[in-house]
Amino acid sequence: MISEALAERVLQAALSTGGDYSELYMEDAESNVLSMTDGKVEDALYSRRQGAGVRVLLGGRSAYAYTADTSEEALIKTAKAAAAAIKGGEKCGLSPFDASVHGKAWEMEIPFSEINNKNRVALLKNGTAAAKAVSPKITQVRASYTDTDKRVFVCSSSGIWSNDRRFRTRTAISAVASDGSEVQTGSESPGMGMGFEAYKIIDTEKAGREAAKTALTMLTAPECPSGFVPVVIDGGFGGVILHEACVHSLEATSVAKGNSEFCDKLGEKIASDKVTAIDDGTLKGEWGSILYDDEGNRSQRNVLIKNGILKSYLVDIVGSRLMGHPITGSARRQNYMFAPTSRMTNTFFAQGNDDFDEMIRTMGNGLYAKKMGGGSVNPLTGEFNFAVMEGYWVRDGKIYSPVRGATLVGRGAEVLMKIDRVGKNMWFGQGMCGSISGSVPTNVGQPPIRVESLTVGGKGGTQW
């Protein structure tokens, strides 16, 4: 993307006012997006985005400027704009660039550029038809397709010289069920960090059927009871509880500022002995994976919690300076218009040894949350509120009835300590995570887990 000589000039311009670190980030991204309602294409968009950002640090302070113009003149101007916000002491020099520590970027088996839009449309049509075929009560199906091929370059005054290529694709299918008076929705959104070969794995027809079945099940379900009861949370997107209620509070974005319930707790017990939690960006082909982060560091497998003990935070360079914690290869950003910060990649509870049937059989009365929906979390306190997209009431250790309108309310730290079962099979669910550095693709995952007691909200009363 750029010559070494020009990169040096940009980084030196960024250090001209006394910063102690400078960084240049460049990207070239192509994307295709299609949307469809009831089998009819509504939008088919192609976009290409190019740009660059320059960051300057002085201790824990930072300044960032960006531009869509990647000419030499514009890059130097952008570097000086960032430098103008930093006033330091002696001018720092540059370390020699070292590309030897970087391996070959991942490649696509079937590049998106070789795919005609009719192939993309066919995926959505098949998913839509499968959803419609489940029942005449499926009154509407919305479907979308996205693919992205992004080339990224990062260099820094510390000698980093990193090239990466990131490609992802995802389909989303939402089915609406109605009986004339009630309306319920189900959705599935599978995605992979692959080229179009991902659709050898992703089955859009299966996704359509699953979305429709969820909508139909919830259409006839009674309201969920409320109470303080055991809860079994299924695998895959159930990991959103870990992502939102726990690991956001382990990011340097929160910890370095003292805005986390897990500040200064490294080496301490913060979870049940059964809990091991990992963030791993190195998993090739997964939705949240990155070969290198947006500071040019190699992505890592970070064990955050091991057998209940807090082992690590997720830390970028600024967080490392403020916290005295090693960098974890976790710096991410939405695009060149954002400075990077510590973010998750593929975050999950490691698998355990407990049997799912035994979890249900020994829980008495409670809730089985098969599919989780959205929610909100306060990272400072860990307090959360999550909707359950598809839930089932358990009575006397048996799944008794589907229920709708369930919510899970609690604190992340308390839930971690109350996990008394962790299942054997872990799988992922795909999402987009928002933070101060924009929206980035993240996987959430877990095997089925059981929380021994949790507040369940619902309109179905307290006895059932």
Is 226 within 8 Å of 461 (Cβ atoms)?
yes
In terms of domains, do 248 and 297 share one? yes
Total number of domains in the chain: 2
pLDDT at 192: 98
Percent over 70 (pLDDT), the chain: 98
- pLDDT digits 0-9 by tens, 175-193: 999 999 999 999 999 999 9
In terms of domains, do 237 and 187 share one? no
In terms of domains, do 164 and 262 share one? no
Report the CATH number that the domain containing residue 19 is assigned in CATH: 3.30.2290.10
In a domain, 274, yes or no: yes
Instruction: Name the burial class of residue 82, with classes exposed (0-12), middle (13-18) and buried (19+) by CB atoms within 10 angstroms of its CB.
Output: buried
In terms of domains, do 208 and 274 share one? no
pLDDT band at 102 (very low <50, low <70, confident <90, very high): low
In terms of domains, do 195 and 278 share one? no
- Domain encompassing residue 421: 227-457
Last residue of a domain, one of 201, 219, 237: 219
Last residue of a domain, one of 192, 219, 246: 219
In terms of domains, do 159 and 264 share one? no
In a domain, 462, yes or no: no
In terms of domains, do 41 and 93 share one? yes
- pLDDT digits 0-9 by tens, 275-307: 999 999 999 999 999 999 999 999 999 999 999
With a cut of 90, say whether residue 111 has pLDDT above it. Answer: yes
Q: Which residues pair with 229 in a beta bridge?
A: 454
Q: Which helix (H) or strand (E) holds 324?
A: none
In a domain, 325, yes or no: yes
In terms of domains, do 40 and 111 share one? yes
Is 325 within 8 Å of 422 (Cβ atoms)?
no
- pLDDT digits 0-9 by tens, 389-425: 999 999 999 999 999 999 999 999 999 999 999 999 9
Q: What are the two backbone dihedrals, phi and then psi, of residue 403, each rounded to the nearest 5 degrees? A: -140, 150
Average pLDDT over residues 111-129: 97
With a cut of 70, say whether residue 376 has pLDDT above it. Answer: yes
In a domain, 257, yes or no: yes
In terms of domains, do 158 and 28 share one? yes
DSSP class of residue 142? E
As given in the structure block, the two tokens for residue 455 are 């507040």
The number of C-alpha atoms within 13 Å of 328 and in the hemisphere containing its C-beta is 27
pLDDT band at 6 (very low <50, low <70, confident <90, very high): very high
- With a CB cutoff of 8 Å and minimum separation 6, the contacts of 7 are 24, 97, 155, 161
In terms of domains, do 137 and 187 share one? yes
